Structure 1
């Protein structure tokens, strides 16, 4: 679970804002005569207990396990950059009313420790139990790669952790959560098998995944792909010439047919790789956020299907 000392770390300005927000929440609860010790847990608009997740991908996975018994919400919105998110007082107020908070862990949500430091709400780290991969390049070398959800193999662990957390929260509906988790796990296994079947027909040089961010390490590992990226973790600074040259050399040396970038960042650095190698720009991949309901990836399963289809088609000689 999260290090308690890290949870307490906060800037003075944050603590003043947080303390003021929590004080206002407490005052409102007192005046309303609710949320005091011994009263029933706060409910969502649908009268179901509220579970918060840190970003939309986790919310969708959790909702598949929750079914109609819990209301699952995401703190961050569709399209948000999760790494450097800045929580708002409204986020804190919402979290104070939740029954449970689910986060990814692995240092993904750099803001999360401050967010929950003074909230009396239990939280569960969904990446617990996976085989963690370390980042091997840049300033983050040696730290855990946080993008574990990009492998359907890992998400099976996420689902088990969600199921157990929901059963602890709402033991009367144990069978409901267990059944939903089993059904969703079966879909995850099918996704992984389909990806492996598609990759089986590729030539050796085509079995390489080159992206802007190192967000596909787990997917590459579990699919038997070589991996190369421009930067390890999204940051505010732009790609350096050295990073771009390193990717160009990798693509040339391995004769990689296509390269990719993620939806939440600019593909301009990867276009330099395209110009320097003649590789095709294979398309846009989704990682940190789902799309709106009418977009290409409104659910996690559709996100993995989309990314797998784009990768397979481009590496086999087409683009998407």
Structure 2
């Protein structure tokens, strides 16, 4: 059973807004200094929650968690992601609309492990229960850079840990809405069965890759959990998006490693620039083979509109390109 964080003591609306705007301004100033490569997103014109029926209002910090909540919650919930498709959750700058969206939620779902701590700046004073989906997951440590030893936050990239996310969401919804508990559990069971089938197919595909080629080279070290599950060695330019991206020493070190290991294919993620990895590919006689998705789903008409689509796309791209 997940440990829901209880709602904080409610403040007056004026106090909440004042505190939130102060936090948002402070976060924007910090981001301007520390995240020069952050991806800009379109103006957010989404509607806020409207209490027109008995469904639970669920707010999540990013789109992958929103998709999980929609599948598990079905027609008993309405779900909104604070960040929009294509946004970089590492550098997100909350808005006043985000505050109102979270304020009107019955349940707020975040990842934890430092990924979406910006949420904590303005969740205080809301009446929402708070679920941290990585509670209970054994974190993989960051193994290089300024964040060495800290928890790598990308646990959802493991189908095994992804199942833990899904089960925690079902338990949390059932705790808030006991009448729907069996419904949420059944949805989670079906969802996890699909996830396990996908993972089994991925393991079979990796088994066809020659052992010396079982090396996954990406821009960001966001695949530690997936690499662990599949028996892949992970190499990358920078550990997490809070690090400097593509410094000359990082590029040079990776060029040498890729050349020495004769790695046939390199990859980069959808929310970051691939320029540095393109240089690695050119100078190591490898190739930048495909775009991977990690921190965000695409729009509904894009290549990865769901969590299962994201994992399926990434696994297919990785195994296809490493065996080609």
- TM-score band (shorter)? 0.7 to 0.9
Structure 2 residue 20 is the aligned partner of structure 1 residue 18: yes
Match for 2:159 among 152, 157, 160?
A: 152
Match of 2:255 in 1: 248
Relative distance call for 1:214 and 1:19 in structure 2 (3 A) is: closer
**Rg larger in 1 or in 2?**
1
Q: CA deviation at 1:298?
A: 0.4
1:102, 1:124 within 8 Å by CA — same for their partners in 2?
Answer: yes
Match for 1:219 among 198, 214, 226?
A: 226
Match of 1:60 in 2: 67
1: CA distance, partners of 2:229 / 2:52: 40
Relative distance call for 1:181 and 1:3 in structure 2 (3 A) is: closer
Count of matched residue positions in the alignment of Structure 1 and Structure 2: 288
Q: CA deviation at 1:159?
A: 0.9
Structure 2 residue 320 is the aligned partner of structure 1 residue 294: no
Q: CA deviation at 1:237?
A: 4.0
1: CA distance, partners of 2:244 / 2:117: 17
| Cα RMSD for the two superposed structures | 2.1
Structure 2 residue 269 is the aligned partner of structure 1 residue 267: no
Q: CA deviation at 1:229?
A: 0.5
2: CA distance, partners of 1:46 / 1:293: 25
Match of 1:8 in 2: none
| 1:21-61 deviations in Å (ceiling 9; x for gaps) | 9xxxxxxxxxxxxxxxxxxxx85456522101100011001
2: CA distance, partners of 1:235 / 1:3: 26
Structure 2 residue 127 is the aligned partner of structure 1 residue 120: yes
2:237, 2:245 within 8 Å by CA — same for their partners in 1?
Answer: no
- Secondary structure of the structure 2 residue equivalent to 1:153: helix
With a CA cutoff of 8 Å and minimum separation of 6, indicate the structure with the bigger relative contact order: 2
| 1:206-235 deviations in Å (ceiling 9; x for gaps) | 101000001000000000000001001113
1: CA distance, partners of 2:104 / 2:17: 19
After the TM superposition, which of the residue ranges 184-193 and 113-122 deviates more from structure 2? 113-122
So what's the TM-score if we normalise by structure 1? 0.85
Match of 2:216 in 1: 209
Match of 2:194 in 1: 187
So what's the TM-score if we normalise by structure 2? 0.84
Unaligned stretches of 5+ residues in structure 2: 7-15, 24-48
Match of 2:82 in 1: 75
| 1:256-303 deviations in Å (ceiling 9; x for gaps) | 110000000110000011011111211100011101111100000011
Q: CA deviation at 1:73?
A: 1.2
Q: CA deviation at 1:101?
A: 0.1
Match of 2:143 in 1: 136
Structure 2 residue 101 is the aligned partner of structure 1 residue 94: yes
1:46, 1:71 within 8 Å by CA — same for their partners in 2?
Answer: no
| 1:66-117 deviations in Å (ceiling 9; x for gaps) | 0111111101101101001011011101111110000000000131210213
Unaligned stretches of 5+ residues in structure 1: 5-13, 22-41
| 1:170-206 deviations in Å (ceiling 9; x for gaps) | 0001110010000001011111101000010111121
Relative distance call for 1:121 and 1:67 in structure 2 (3 A) is: same
2: CA distance, partners of 1:16 / 1:43: 23
